Structure 1
Amino acid sequence: MGIKDLFQVETLDTRFISQSNDPLPNTRPAQWKTPEYYIYLLVFLTIPPLMFKSVYDVSQPSHPNYARYEHLLEPGWIPGCPKVDNSDAQYRGFRENVPYMALVVILHPLLRRLYERLRSQRDLKQANGELKHREDSDFIATRDADARMERRINFDFAFAMVFLLALHGISALKVLLILYTNYSIATRLPRQYVSITTWTFDVGILFANELCRGYPLANFAASFLPTQTTNAGEKGAPAETNWGAWLDGYGGLVPRWEVLFNITVLRLIAFNFDYLWMLDRRASIPVEKKNLSPTNLSEKDRVKIGASTADFTLRNYLAYTLYSPLYLTGPIINFNDYIFQSRHPLPTTQTWSRIIPYAIRFILCLFTMELVLHNLHAVAISKSNPDWNAYTPFQLSMLGYFNLHVIWLKLLLPWRFFRLWSLLDGIDPPENMVRCMSDNYSALAFWRGWHRSFNLWVTRYIYIPLGGSRVGKLRAVANFLAVFTFVALWHDINLRLLMWGWLITVFLVPEYIATLLFPARNFKNRPNTYRWLCGLGAVGNILMMMTANLVGFAVGLDGLKGLVDGIIGSLGGRVFFLAACITLFVGTQVMFEVREAERRRGVAMKC
């Protein structure tokens, strides 16, 4: 594998690999060596260095605003970069624990292999006894697959219990109580009540976790017993804590368990609906009907085939919802796929030629983030209530732009780290970040490629049950609004993220209308005209996506207002804005050609 292959989408996720490697239909010839794209190359050789330099300059101690945010910086480790912007609390927690988590990533698969080696020897002796009575090849294959699943899930369950206790201490009991209640909803209620009860309970848990802040036992104890205090005559003597506060002190490595529980809620909903839909499936097994090899099935077929009735046990449920590599942040895999891969190992999880390039990509992204945080202090600047008038329009726009890049990287790194752990352990979940943040021009495609496993989850469990896009144009927009409202509430219960979700929905409408007014079939004989027309629309899309994400995840509405006023509040700013739009148009044309190159390799993606 060469350097060029390392950065292809197929390296991130083998789901995108074409079976035939043949170009897709209606693929255009390469445009890279045309005069038009040589001009674009010139733009790429000049503009991006200036973009980096603009934020690098305002991150220097000599800048007037440096004193405002210097307290947010920490000593750096890269030579020549004395300070690092470690002001983002979410990423700081991941960054500081990478060495410890790396140790767990190494030990966990080794412990599994040791356990399976010991357990498989016992299974082999038992199997030899069974073979005396039956030597049917299908029976042997099924028996071996079931034995593999038993070994894997037994280990997953045991390790998850230890892992949960180490992470959350006494709060592990709270997590298990929620999980058991959700399991009882699926398996004990009459079928007609499972759907509405599941949504009510699990969405209610999102709100309750937030409002009750993880249900501290000290509050429960205080409601039954008055708080005991020391002798009031002893000046300055601290109050004695009640038994609940004493138990809360054993909160494990991550006492705030509720902060990371949102991802588990998605697995709870997935299990209940996979169970409900399993009851409605016909008894026939598609693998046997199609005479397909289980290891060669696509993700869609694995999910469609689903788990059997006997697989929906409490032990399997807990092993799935608490699966250690994916417990904290995902990516999300549904119960059907988890059970299927537990039975039948996928070729992608058994090949070092696939896992090593993925690990290299992760390490490169990690060092990229370190270089950005050491040299470009965009996050600390935005957190310090700066004087926006001290920056030029170009610098203001780049501060917003690199803020978004840090958000992209701070989400990408944990997701890829834990997916790498899962791949090493033999389970292949979807890749969450398929495209670079700067390689998106479509609002719809951006959503599909940003937190991709969540998008697949939303599509399966919300969008399609609501009717998808087959229910009329107006209803489809309403479905999008419902989806993004849930997505915003799932991220965090606050107005800023609700505004983000609604802005995303509003910004989908222009693209949706444009595809109706300018269908590709009307430009079959004018492909370049259609490409340029799409480029103009893409410029507006990119600006709207940047606006929505800056409001939702970076500077908020007030911060965005300061950025916009600084950019377009003067003639020079408006001239810059026009130049920025031209640059975005050039970038979009390059994105189009990158996707055509993928199509020429047989890669079909919707993002």
Structure 2
Amino acid sequence: MAANRSVWRRLELTFLLTYAAIFYIIVIYHSLRLSNEYGVGGDKGGRLKGLRQGWIWNRFNDISDSQWRNFRGNLPILTVVLGIFMLLANIMRSTFHLRGKGLSVLWISLSLTYIIYLHGACTIFLLAIAVGNFFITKIFGNTHIFPITIWMYNILVLVCNRLFEGYSFTLFGQNLAFLDNYRGTFRWHICFNFVMLRMLSFGLDYHWAHGSPKMDWKRHVQHCGLCHSGKSCYHARQERSLSLKSYSFDRYLCYLIYAPLYIAGPIVSFNAFSSQLDSPQKTQSNMKIFGYGCRWFFCLCLIELMTHFCYYNSLAISGVWQLFTPWEVFIVGYGVLNFMWLKFLLIWRYFRFWALIGGIETPENMPHCINNCYDLEGFWKSWHASYNRWLVRYLYIPLGGSQRKLLNVWPIFTFVAIWHDLEWKLLSWAWVTCVFWMPELLFKSIMRTPHVQNLLNKLLVRELSAVGGAITISCLMMANMIGFVIGPTGMHWLISRMLLKENILVLIGIFVTFYIGTKLMFHVRETDTPRNQNK
């Protein structure tokens, strides 16, 4: 029986891999066709935005995404600046044996130089808000009203920053109007989103440090290989409260403006960051960090190939998708998601690389490929993983955790949308995601009950899970197309087109593809499980 099952699994895997190969050949073919037709010099050329002369085979390069364009354009100077900072910091740390306060003062000096260049005179706004948050924390940090107080302060500041677009100095007096000519090269209120998360982390970690420890340290050491070997894992650094004197202004300011993580993260808790000022990370050796950098460079080459040959983002933002068939819209939407994943992977891992060189370990964003996620919960845990950890620690658990999971997703995703920007499009994306999440949570809850597990055999559970995964991927595609490709009004057009008689087969084909893709992901996860257990 076991031998027959093994043969069947091999045959199934062969079929799934063959289907996947054919699928990607078709997707790449149509992506190239659409990009060539609507690109410069094509039959329908001249309609795409953001194409510039590239460097690969004389092709044009799609740099229509402003985040990627700015990061790519500033990559050389960023590398030089952060390289100099790391060289100075590591030399000073080893020469003068800097730890804790000494290291934080050094990084404040370096980071302030960096931030004044970025924000110019607007650095005053950032520092004033940070000082206000520090005083609120120190005054109310040991009271029951502190959590709601610190949240109200930060949400209010976040909204006001966006409504007043970073404030004009003329609001505070005409004699300060000249400072508006020195606002730097990067809008400070955009970077403030990450600063806000750090301010909340500092405040709440300080508040919880007054209480009894929540972490069972002995039990954790028994189950954590790193901590058992004498090192400290990130989870231990985050959950273990520091002494109250460690919540000082110098460490707080260093944490807020630490140059390698300032612009885009990854997000690290105050406890974890501050503990690494005293004891730099030892989980990643120099060789591992070098290999990490090499993999990053490979991904950079990959996105350059993608943007030179497949103009997914430009096709999406230029509005030409309205001329496409539903199948072509699906290809563009799928391509945009893959482009976004690779873009954010490069941005986040670039800054994490420099933080590791500086002795600061952060959570890894994008631990799984976007094409290896078949449920919403897994997708959000592996997309902006450090942000997900932050949300779990500072919002999800305080709101009641798993006991109120169905209710918690609504305020959490509403906050995520507002945190990104004040746009109805993002709120629509957040609430649509919550609606789609409800059935998944209910399905998982039902499938975990002993009665259902005894009633259904493993094969049926696997098939039902694959169907559920196909439905989830469909919902995820729809939510992200609303948020980042065609908007809420465009989705009405797409659904009406999909439901036409001649497009029903396309809709079925897409769903079957998601079903087959989910089953392939099952095989990948089953291969990874023994490997992870042996680590």
Instruction: Give me the whole-angstrom Cα distance separating, in 2, the residues matched to 1:511 and 1:517.
Output: 10
Instruction: Give the drift of 1:285.
Output: 11
Secondary structure of residue in 2 paired with 1:380: helix
1:187 aligns with 2:121: no
Q: Structure 2 vs 1, CA of residues 67 and 56 (structure 1 numbering), >3 Å: closer, same or farther?
A: same
Output the aligned Cα RMSD: 2.6
1:455 aligns with 2:388: yes
Instruction: Give me the whole-angstrom Cα distance separating, in 2, the residues matched to 1:509 and 1:355.
Output: 40
Q: Structure 2 vs 1, CA of residues 333 and 164 (structure 1 numbering), >3 Å: closer, same or farther?
A: same
Task: Name the residue aligned to 1:113.
Answer: 90
Larger relative CO (CA 8 A, sep 6+): 1 or 2?
A: 1
Secondary structure of residue in 2 paired with 1:336: helix
Secondary structure of residue in 1 paired with 2:268: coil
Q: 1:276-334 deviations in whole A, cap 9, x for unaligned?
A: 010113699958x9897795233332222221111011111001111111111111111
| Residues 185 and 198, structure 1, Cα contact 8 Å, conserved in 2 | yes
TM-score (ref. length: structure 2): 0.91
Secondary structure of residue in 2 paired with 1:84: strand
1:196-215 equivalences in 2 (<5 Å): 196-215=148-167
1:68 aligns with 2:2: no
Q: 1:127-166 deviations in whole A, cap 9, x for unaligned?
A: xxxxxxxxxxxxxxxxxxxx63234222222212222212
Q: Structure 2 vs 1, CA of residues 419 and 57 (structure 1 numbering), >3 Å: closer, same or farther?
A: same
Q: Structure 2 vs 1, CA of residues 32 and 277 (structure 1 numbering), >3 Å: closer, same or farther?
A: farther
Instruction: Give the drift of 1:536.
Output: 0.6
1:528-567 equivalences in 2 (<5 Å): 528-567=459-498
Instruction: Give me the whole-angstrom Cα distance separating, in 1, the residues matched to 2:77 and 2:497.
Output: 43
Instruction: Give me the whole-angstrom Cα distance separating, in 2, the residues matched to 1:283 and 1:547.
Output: 40
Secondary structure of residue in 1 paired with 2:52: strand
Q: 1:235-282 deviations in whole A, cap 9, x for unaligned?
A: xxxxxxxx534212222232x110121011000000000000101136
Task: Name the residue aligned to 1:490.
Answer: 419
Task: Name the residue aligned to 2:99.
Answer: 148
1:353 aligns with 2:287: yes
Q: Structure 2 vs 1, CA of residues 203 and 586 (structure 1 numbering), >3 Å: closer, same or farther?
A: same
1:363 aligns with 2:297: yes
Instruction: Give the drift of 1:600.
Output: 1.0
Instruction: Give me the whole-angstrom Cα distance separating, in 2, the residues matched to 1:326 and 1:513.
Output: 37
Instruction: Give me the whole-angstrom Cα distance separating, in 1, the residues matched to 2:368 and 2:83.
Output: 28
Q: Structure 2 vs 1, CA of residues 558 and 290 (structure 1 numbering), >3 Å: closer, same or farther?
A: closer
Task: Name the residue aligned to 1:334.
Answer: 269
The match for 1:438 among 364, 371, 378 is: 371
The match for 2:12 among 15, 31, 36 is: 36
The match for 2:332 among 392, 399, 408 is: 399
| Letter in structure 2 aligned against 1:445 | G
Task: Name the residue aligned to 1:586.
Answer: 516
| Residues 332 and 429, structure 1, Cα contact 8 Å, conserved in 2 | yes
Instruction: Give me the whole-angstrom Cα distance separating, in 2, the residues matched to 1:173 and 1:284.
Output: 38
Q: 1:12-51 deviations in whole A, cap 9, x for unaligned?
A: xxxxxxxxxxxxxxxxx98897111111121122110110
Task: Name the residue aligned to 1:84.
Answer: 61
Q: 1:448-488 deviations in whole A, cap 9, x for unaligned?
A: 11101111111111110111112xxxx43111111111111
Secondary structure of residue in 2 paired with 1:66: coil
| Letter in structure 1 aligned against 2:471 | G
Task: Name the residue aligned to 2:346.
Answer: 413
Instruction: Give me the whole-angstrom Cα distance separating, in 1, the residues matched to 2:10 and 2:64.
Output: 45
1:250-329 equivalences in 2 (<5 Å): 250-254=182-186, 256-281=187-212, 296-329=231-264
1:246 aligns with 2:178: yes
Secondary structure of residue in 2 paired with 1:348: coil
Q: Structure 2 vs 1, CA of residues 366 and 526 (structure 1 numbering), >3 Å: closer, same or farther?
A: same
Instruction: Give the drift of 1:394.
Output: 2.1
| Residues 481 and 502, structure 1, Cα contact 8 Å, conserved in 2 | yes
Instruction: Give me the whole-angstrom Cα distance separating, in 1, the residues matched to 2:329 and 2:481.
Output: 13
Task: Name the residue aligned to 2:30.
Answer: 54
| Letter in structure 2 aligned against 1:417 | Y
Instruction: Give me the whole-angstrom Cα distance separating, in 1, the residues matched to 2:353 and 2:321.
Output: 42
Q: Structure 2 vs 1, CA of residues 119 and 92 (structure 1 numbering), >3 Å: closer, same or farther?
A: same
Instruction: Give the drift of 1:206.
Output: 0.8
Instruction: Give me the whole-angstrom Cα distance separating, in 1, the residues matched to 2:204 and 2:430.
Output: 25
Instruction: Give me the whole-angstrom Cα distance separating, in 2, the residues matched to 1:602 and 1:411.
Output: 25
| Residues 523 and 529, structure 1, Cα contact 8 Å, conserved in 2 | no
| Residues 376 and 476, structure 2, Cα contact 8 Å, conserved in 1 | yes
| Letter in structure 1 aligned against 2:312 | A
Q: 1:413-453 deviations in whole A, cap 9, x for unaligned?
A: 21111111111111010011112222110111111111011
Task: Name the residue aligned to 2:442.
Answer: 513
Moved more, 181-190 or 245-254: 245-254
Q: Which is greater in Rg?
A: 1
| Letter in structure 2 aligned against 1:299 | Y
Instruction: Give the drift of 1:90.
Output: 1.9
Q: Structure 2 vs 1, CA of residues 63 and 285 (structure 1 numbering), >3 Å: closer, same or farther?
A: closer
Instruction: Give the drift of 1:561.
Output: 3.1
| Letter in structure 2 aligned against 1:248 | D
| Letter in structure 2 aligned against 1:476 | K
Instruction: Give me the whole-angstrom Cα distance separating, in 2, the residues matched to 1:377 and 1:536.
Output: 31
Q: 1:35-75 deviations in whole A, cap 9, x for unaligned?
A: 11111121122110110111210111465543222x53111
Q: Structure 2 vs 1, CA of residues 201 and 295 (structure 1 numbering), >3 Å: closer, same or farther?
A: farther
Structure 2 unpaired stretches of 5+? none
| Residues 306 and 340, structure 1, Cα contact 8 Å, conserved in 2 | no
| Residues 182 and 268, structure 1, Cα contact 8 Å, conserved in 2 | yes
1:569 aligns with 2:500: yes
- For these two proteins, the number of residue pairs brought into alignment is 521
Instruction: Give me the whole-angstrom Cα distance separating, in 2, the residues matched to 1:283 and 1:535.
Output: 38
Q: Structure 2 vs 1, CA of residues 415 and 440 (structure 1 numbering), >3 Å: closer, same or farther?
A: same
* Higher helix content, 1 or 2: 2
The match for 2:432 among 494, 503, 523 is: 503
Instruction: Give the drift of 1:102.
Output: 1.2
| Letter in structure 1 aligned against 2:529 | R
Secondary structure of residue in 2 paired with 1:434: coil
| Residues 295 and 344, structure 1, Cα contact 8 Å, conserved in 2 | no
Q: Percent same amino acid among aligned pairs?
A: 30
| Residues 329 and 418, structure 1, Cα contact 8 Å, conserved in 2 | yes
| Residues 392 and 567, structure 1, Cα contact 8 Å, conserved in 2 | no
Q: Structure 2 vs 1, CA of residues 568 and 63 (structure 1 numbering), >3 Å: closer, same or farther?
A: farther
| Letter in structure 1 aligned against 2:182 | Y
| Residues 234 and 361, structure 2, Cα contact 8 Å, conserved in 1 | no
Secondary structure of residue in 2 paired with 1:427: coil
Q: 1:379-414 deviations in whole A, cap 9, x for unaligned?
A: 21222222624x233222101111222222222221
TM-score (ref. length: structure 1): 0.81
Moved more, 259-268 or 31-40: 31-40
| Residues 168 and 253, structure 1, Cα contact 8 Å, conserved in 2 | yes
Structure 1 unpaired stretches of 5+? 1-28, 121-146, 223-242
Instruction: Give me the whole-angstrom Cα distance separating, in 1, the residues matched to 2:321 and 2:464.
Output: 38
1:169 aligns with 2:98: no
Q: Structure 2 vs 1, CA of residues 96 and 457 (structure 1 numbering), >3 Å: closer, same or farther?
A: same
Instruction: Give me the whole-angstrom Cα distance separating, in 2, the residues matched to 1:215 and 1:504.
Output: 33
Moved more, 333-342 or 515-524: 515-524
Q: Structure 2 vs 1, CA of residues 245 and 65 (structure 1 numbering), >3 Å: closer, same or farther?
A: farther
| Residues 261 and 351, structure 2, Cα contact 8 Å, conserved in 1 | yes
Instruction: Give the drift of 1:570.
Output: 4.0
Q: Structure 2 vs 1, CA of residues 353 and 531 (structure 1 numbering), >3 Å: closer, same or farther?
A: farther
Q: Structure 2 vs 1, CA of residues 430 and 387 (structure 1 numbering), >3 Å: closer, same or farther?
A: closer
Instruction: Give the drift of 1:99.
Output: 0.9
Secondary structure of residue in 1 paired with 2:402: coil
| Letter in structure 1 aligned against 2:119 | H
Task: Name the residue aligned to 1:344.
Answer: 279
